[in-house]
Structure 1
Amino acid sequence: MTTLWDTTGTAVVKELAAQRRTGGAVVAGVALTMVIVADEGRVAEAEDAAATAAEQHPFRLLVVVRRQVESAIPRLDAEVIIGGRLGPCEAVVMRMYGRLGLHAESVVLPLLAADAPVVTWWHDRPPRRLATDALGVIADRRITDISLAPDPHDALRVRADDYAPGDTDLSWTRGTPWRATLTTTLDSVAGRRGEPVRILGGRVEGDPGNATAALLAGWLISRCGCGIDVVKSERRPGASGVDQVVLQLDENEEVRVQADRRGGAVVIQPYRPDTRVALRDRPLGDLLGEELRRLDPDEPYSEALGAATRTTGLAERSPVRQHIWVDPAQPDALPVDPESPDEELRQSPRDAGAANR
């Protein structure tokens, strides 16, 4: 690891190239560039998650920490790491002071891995409109985490209003074991009957204020075309915010999947003995690794988000974002309206290329 104090973007690029020449055996190639935007208090957690995800998907890691944006003197401190504490990846951790943080893309763009997709993850409260952060505009995939918002329901609505294909959220990823278990269970019922199962209604029991519970209900609504309520559970739900899912089927049958406190769940279905399945809460690194398995638009997420917020047409929106300049030093300033011809917009060169593909 090399630490560069009060440095420049050019010096960081040169140091990374020098480290790659000497440590190339550690990282022979990268599949993508992971850009993490994190608050100082969450950097260690983000690095641990990135190290876990890098074991599955070798990438170049660029961590951006914006500090003291109001400072009059811009400054860049950087750590260049090949292997080491971050595992099998090459990384640059950048702490940007002053107004340099408002132009973080000027330092990040020269560090992107050549001909590799870009994923931006906000391990903090993301902007209400991702296009106001240029690090989101240059990304092919954008990952947020509604669980970090003070009001998850409001954040869910914000993400639906601002959605563009390529967006996803870790609250959605936390529900993957529930979706897999429900799909397998219903497939087994259909196999026994020899005909498709028709779901007439149901409920998700857990924390009604939890985004994962809302997205799980939205996914069921989008798949089943019937009403699915989110109700408060009498028991304390796990980290996913879901305690139990109950589905009413035709022919007066009911399927119930109930979490236990041993990292699993009990599946109760008609005409079969109760069975236990694994349904553990996964660490942050595993969630991040799952999101990096696919970089195309996550259509099931957009359908679930649309159903949960009663928003239509999410998948038909343009995946190309245009940068909207907002100066945080002017708290009363409103974001530029992309539809207004009188406002100046800056389109990312990467987006311009994507539009031509």
Structure 2
Amino acid sequence: MIIEMPDTTTGAINKALVESRKEGGVITLARVMTLVIDASGADAEQAIATANVASREHPCRIIVIAPGEASEARLDAEIRVGGDAGASEVILLRPSGEQIGHDDTLVTPLLLPDAPIVVWWPAGVPENMSRLELGRMAQRRITDSKGETDPAGTLLHLAKCYKPGDTDLAWARLTRWRALLASALDQVRVPEVSLARIHGDMNSPSILMLGAWLKHTLGCEIEATYDASVSALQHIILETPSGPVSIARPDGHNATISQPGQPDHVIALPARSLEDTLAEELRRLDSDDVYGEVLEAFAGQMVVSL
């Protein structure tokens, strides 16, 4: 069900939410958080669709802020519940005129009481998200550096502005790779790594973060090569005294794991979807300390290399 509310107020929106639950029998006690989406410069409908899928694991109230096009100061809104909101309830806010730029004033009356707040910026990385109105009220702040034209510069910016609770979906895209590498090294007789070779997309912040993580964790040298014709991480080779440990995913779907003294084996390792990575970040509401350490390590490594 979609309720259109042109030229409205947050008070009227709250009242309409209560009425919609009475009429539709929607149960809200299971809402575990408020997910606020700053859709400035983004496709609001795509962001809503992504959040609806991700929220199947985490039923929540989704508040989307997408600036309107009217010249006068007004607030247009939509409420989506039931089949149009997945496992959550969606409030789409379209402020116009002087209403733009007062996100905290718009959002605060609509927050779930005593529930964690997560803010997601689907379109790029803001200047300093922890100091923004929305960022200050959130326990978790999620960005996505994937589409940035200068991934190294973006990671340096994230490192400079990092506060506990920040995270980036480029880091979530590495979760399975990191787990596989750790598992593969556990089975090597002498797991010391002298060199890590990484190959993949030349504009991938995930590859830069993987290199920083490996160097920070293993103390090894990093050798990265890039290919403009691919769109993700392709392969990793870790040089150990026992022989190379490698994970190769040339087709973007299946990975071959090679270890000294063991036969190769193939596993499914598809590129992770936006919905999957967002759902992962919504699973944890505490600070991701390793992410912060990797950003700090990346910044330090960049300074040394200059």
Assess same fold via TM > 0.5: yes
Residues 209 and 295, structure 2, Cα contact 8 Å, conserved in 1: yes
State yes or no: 1:265 paired with 2:255: yes
What is the CA distance between 1:41 and its match in structure 2? 4.8
What is the CA distance between 1:311 and its match in structure 2? 7.3
Distance 1:306 1:245 in 2: 22
Residues 196 and 222, structure 2, Cα contact 8 Å, conserved in 1: yes
Aligned twin of 2:75: 76
Identity of aligned residues (%): 36
- Sort the Cα spacing of 1:40 and 1:306 in 2 relative to 1 into closer, same or farther, 3 A: closer
Aligned twin of 2:274: 284
Aligned twin of 1:336: none
Distance 2:155 2:224 in 1: 15
SS of structure 1 residue aligned to 2:43: helix
Distance 2:192 2:89 in 1: 50
State yes or no: 1:101 paired with 2:100: yes
State yes or no: 1:248 paired with 2:239: yes
Aligned twin of 1:59: 60
Residues 26 and 89, structure 1, Cα contact 8 Å, conserved in 2: no
- TM-score, structure 2 normalization: 0.92
Residues 252 and 271, structure 2, Cα contact 8 Å, conserved in 1: no
In the TM superposition, what are the counterparts of 1:275-314 in structure 2 within 5 Å? Answer: 275-310=265-300
Residues 205 and 244, structure 1, Cα contact 8 Å, conserved in 2: yes
Distance 1:214 1:13 in 2: 44
Distance 1:243 1:260 in 2: 6
Distance 1:102 1:164 in 2: 23
Letter of the 1:16 counterpart: L
What is the CA distance between 1:110 and its match in structure 2? 0.9
Aligned twin of 2:172: 173
State yes or no: 1:237 paired with 2:225: no
1:59-116 CA-partner distances (Å, limit 9, x unpaired): 1100011245xx7521111111112222111110111112312101111001111111
Aligned twin of 2:185: 186
- Sort the Cα spacing of 1:311 and 1:141 in 2 relative to 1 into closer, same or farther, 3 A: farther
What is the CA distance between 1:11 and its match in structure 2? 0.9
- Sort the Cα spacing of 1:90 and 1:37 in 2 relative to 1 into closer, same or farther, 3 A: same
Distance 1:56 1:24 in 2: 21
Distance 2:152 2:84 in 1: 36
Aligned twin of 1:5: 6
State yes or no: 1:21 paired with 2:22: yes
1:241-292 CA-partner distances (Å, limit 9, x unpaired): 21111111124x1111110316111111111111111210122111110001
Letter of the 1:91 counterpart: V
Distance 2:122 2:114 in 1: 25
- TM-score, structure 1 normalization: 0.79
SS of structure 2 residue aligned to 1:66: coil
Residues 236 and 248, structure 2, Cα contact 8 Å, conserved in 1: yes
Aligned twin of 2:222: 228
Aligned twin of 2:146: 147
What is the CA distance between 1:21 and its match in structure 2? 2.8
SS of structure 2 residue aligned to 1:147: coil
Letter of the 1:278 counterpart: A
Unaligned runs of 5+ in 2: none
SS of structure 1 residue aligned to 2:125: coil
SS of structure 1 residue aligned to 2:23: helix
Moved more, 283-292 or 177-186: 177-186
Residues 254 and 266, structure 2, Cα contact 8 Å, conserved in 1: yes
Unaligned runs of 5+ in 1: 313-357
Aligned twin of 2:34: 33
SS of structure 2 residue aligned to 1:78: strand
What is the CA distance between 1:230 and its match in structure 2? 2.3
Residues 208 and 214, structure 1, Cα contact 8 Å, conserved in 2: no
What is the CA distance between 1:172 and its match in structure 2? 0.7
Distance 2:51 2:179 in 1: 25
SS of structure 2 residue aligned to 1:290: helix
- Sort the Cα spacing of 1:40 and 1:199 in 2 relative to 1 into closer, same or farther, 3 A: closer
